[in-house]
Structure formats: structure tokens, C-alpha cells
């Protein structure tokens, strides 16, 4: 599993770095489109999203399609990675995994702030059609301080409906500060199930959208272990609402795990037998508010970051 790290001055250079890394590890790059030769086809675009002086590219937009030329079955929504211009240059970490193919980029800036961008294939079960996946940290947030997520449900901290910083963390398309549909979203999956669109949940306010915390919520809620402080690496299983109160397990993002990072720092390595995993917060670690979320209306909706919710990426680097 190839690994690469370094620093880049702006999003334009980061975009090129990601493209070259992906092209060396399972993708082809043609006309600005990365393709795995199947249904994972993504296009990265860098641009200036923050009116800074001097102006630099601070944002990477990621789009997906089921065709290598983006001529058919394009995902109707997109995601982005963004860091304020004042925080560039950033440090990046790139991971490439096979079986199934997955490319992951994590950036670190302003000492303890992180964002991610990811694309590839998800392993589906039961003969389900689909698997192409892409996503990134940001949706409609206007600054990096508005990236947050919460473990507990509620109008101000719901893991289903509010802005969040992890793949498939909610189950509707209410993905910005005041709810409602927005052209940007975090994560998208090609999944043909129950007559749903090929990108379920995308392009509509509600839909049959895959969800991770529906299953993982009670597991994360009971960590870290009270006696030893240990955290469990939880497989990134995805579920879909099938109606009537029933959920179906549909597949897994194989090369990552969710975990509590209470006793871990960004970049720490966890060794489990022959396997090693690199640990990151989803956005900003906050031990004072371990379940993340934000303060309520009377407190100005101040985000708490992503608490001690984080992830581990399979790693075999130095």
C-alpha cells in the first residue's frame, strides 16, 4: 500500500500531487479525469474559494461519474476540500490501497486541523450493483471552523442531519447549517437498490442514503474502554434504510476504521499483529466535547469540532 507525504503551497499543487499519485497506483489520468477502468471516475478541480490577497487556490472540488468521459451517469452533487488561504502551505498524507482500489488524502494545517478527500471502490455484499465512491470533508460550510460532527442525535448536534466531517455520517441530504438540500455534500456511493437512483440520496433532499453511524453509534459511545483506555478499530460498515423500520447492511469501506482518538495524536501508528494503522481526527480533536457537535442558538452555534471521533487508515509506510 503506497504512502507519500510532504508539503504543498496551495490547492492547485495538491490537486496535481493527488492526480499523479493516483495515476501511479491504479488509476489512469486522461483529460483531467482519473479512471480505474471501471465505474470509479473522478474529476478534481482547484480554485480560489476564499477572497484572499494574494489570491491562491485554496479549494479542491471532487466530482464523480460512472463513465470515464463524464458523458453519462454523473453524480448530481459534489464535495470539496478547503483550507483558508492563511493556513497554506499544508502537510499532506497520501495512501493507496488495492482490492478494492482506494485513494485517500489527508491534509494537516494550523497545527491540529485536518481534512480529507477520498475516492475508489466500496466492497458491496449480496450481489448489489455499484461500489464507486468519492467524498471530501466539506459541504456548504463557509470556513474550516464549521466542519463538525456529533455522535448524539438532536437539532443542534444530530449525527443524521447537521454538517459533519466523516463519510456517510448522516442519512439525509440536510448537509448545511440550516438544513435543506445543497449542491455540495460529503460522500456519494453508486448503489442500485430498491429502484433508487444510481447515486442514492444525491440530487434530492431525502433519499435512500447509506449511513455509517446507524450501526456504529453504540460502539463508539462505549469507547474508550473505561478500565484500560483502549479504543477498538471499528470496521466502516454501511447500512441503508429499507423502510418499515428495517436496515440492510450493504458493504464496507475496507481500508479504514472508525475509532475514538482520546489517547492518540494525529499521525500515531496503531499496530495490531502484522497490520498497522495511521490515526487522524476527522477534523479537530476536542477532548472537552468528546462527542463533537456545536453549542446551541443562544451560544451562537459555536462548533466543537469532531470531538474524539476519528479514524485509522491502513498503513505500511516508514
- Predicted local distance difference test score (pLDDT) of residue 34: 98
Q: Residue 298: CB partners within 8 Å, gap ≥ 6?
A: none
Phi, psi at 159, each rounded to 5°: -75, -10
Which set of grid coordinates corresponds to residue 165? 466531517
- Predicted local distance difference test score (pLDDT) of residue 133: 95
CA neighbor of 170 nearest in space, from 156, 187, 184: 187
Which set of grid coordinates corresponds to residue 131? 461500489
Q: Are 116 and 136 in contact (CB under 8 A)?
A: yes
Distances (CA, A) of 27 to 80, 98, 105, 261: 20, 11, 15, 32
Residue 11 DSSP label: H
Pick the most confident of 22-26, 159-163, 166-170, 284-288. Answer: 22-26
Q: What is the largest CA-CA distance in the chain?
A: 55
- Predicted local distance difference test score (pLDDT) of residue 170: 67
SS3 272: strand
SS3 202: coil
SS3 308: coil
Cβ-in-10-Å burial (0-12, 13-18, 19+) of 127 comes to exposed
- Convert 25-73 into a string of H (helix), E (strand) and C (coil): CCCEEECCEEECCCCCEEEEEEECCCCCCCCCCCEEEEEEECCCCCCCC
pLDDT band at 216 (very low <50, low <70, confident <90, very high): confident
- Residues 181 and 167: their CA atoms lie apart, in Å, by 17
Tens-place pLDDT, residues 120-158: 999 999 999 999 999 998 754 445 555 667 775 433 334
Which set of grid coordinates corresponds to residue 109? 494545517
pLDDT band at 4 (very low <50, low <70, confident <90, very high): very high
Tens-place pLDDT, residues 259-304: 999 999 999 999 999 999 999 999 889 888 888 877 655 555 666 7
Torsion of CA 224, 227, 230, 232, to 10 degrees: -60
Tens-place pLDDT, residues 65-117: 999 999 999 998 888 898 888 899 999 999 999 999 999 999 999 988 999 99
Which set of grid coordinates corresponds to residue 264? 492518540
Q: Residue 130: CB partners within 8 Å, gap ≥ 6?
A: 39, 124, 189, 190, 191, 192, 193, 198
SS3 146: helix
How much is the pTM? 0.91
- Residues 147 and 138: their CA atoms lie apart, in Å, by 7
82: which strand partners?
Answer: 59
- Residues 308 and 222: their CA atoms lie apart, in Å, by 12
- Residues 197 and 74: their CA atoms lie apart, in Å, by 11
What are the sequence ranges of the domains in the chain? Answer: 3-314
- Residues 160 and 157: their CA atoms lie apart, in Å, by 9
Amino acid at each position: 500500500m503506497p504512502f507519500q507525504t510532504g508539503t504543498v503551497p496551495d490547492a492547485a499543487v495538491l490537486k496535481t500531487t493527488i492526480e499523479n499519485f493516483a495515476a501511479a497506483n491504479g488509476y489512469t489520468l486522461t483529460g483531467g479525469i482519473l479512471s480505474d477502468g471501471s465505474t470509479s471516475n473522478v474529476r478534481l478541480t482547484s480554485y480560489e474559494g476564499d477572497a484572499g490577497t494574494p489570491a491562491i487556490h485554496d479549494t479542491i472540488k471532487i466530482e464523480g461519474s460512472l463513465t470515464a468521459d463524464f458523458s453519462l451517469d454523473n453524480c448530481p452533487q459534489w464535495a470539496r476540500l478547503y483550507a483558508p488561504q492563511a493556513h497554506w502551505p499544508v502537510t499532506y498524507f497520501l495512501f493507496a490501497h488495492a482490492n478494492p482500489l482506494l485513494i485517500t488524502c489527508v491534509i494537516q494545517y494550523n497545527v491540529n486541523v485536518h481534512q480529507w478527500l477520498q475516492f475508489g471502490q466500496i466492497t458491496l455484499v449480496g450481489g448489489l450493483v455499484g461500489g464507486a465512491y468519492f467524498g471530501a470533508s466539506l459541504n456548504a460550510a463557509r470556513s474550516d471552523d464549521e466542519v463538525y460532527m456529533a455522535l448524539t442525535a438532536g437539532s443542534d448536534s444530530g449525527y443524521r442531519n447537521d454538517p459533519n466531517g466523516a463519510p456517510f455520517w448522516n442519512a439525509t441530504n440536510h448537509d448545511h447549517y440550516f438544513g435543506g438540500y445543497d449542491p455540495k455534500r460529503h460522500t456519494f456511493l453508486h448503489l442500485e437498490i430498491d429502484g433508487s437512483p444510481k447515486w442514492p440520496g444525491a440530487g434530492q433532499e431525502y433519499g435512500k442514503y447509506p449511513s455509517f453511524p446507524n450501526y456504529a453509534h453504540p460502539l463508539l459511545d462505549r469507547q474508550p474502554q473505561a478500565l484500560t483506555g483502549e479504543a477498538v478499530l471499528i470496521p466502516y460498515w454501511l447500512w441503508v434504510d429499507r423502510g418499515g423500520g428495517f436496515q440492510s447492511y450493504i458493504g464496507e469501506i475496507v481500508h479504514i476504521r472508525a475509532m475514538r482518538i482520546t489517547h492518540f495524536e494525529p499521525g500515531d501508528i496503531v499496530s495490531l499483529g502484522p497490520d498497522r494503522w495511521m490515526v487522524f481526527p476527522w477534523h479537530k480533536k476536542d477532548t472537552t466535547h468528546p462527542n463533537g457537535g456545536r453549542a446551541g442558538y443562544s451560544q451562537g452555534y459555536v462548533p466543537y469540532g469532531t470531538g474524539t471521533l476519528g479514524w485509522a487508515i491502513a498503513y505500511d509506510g516508514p
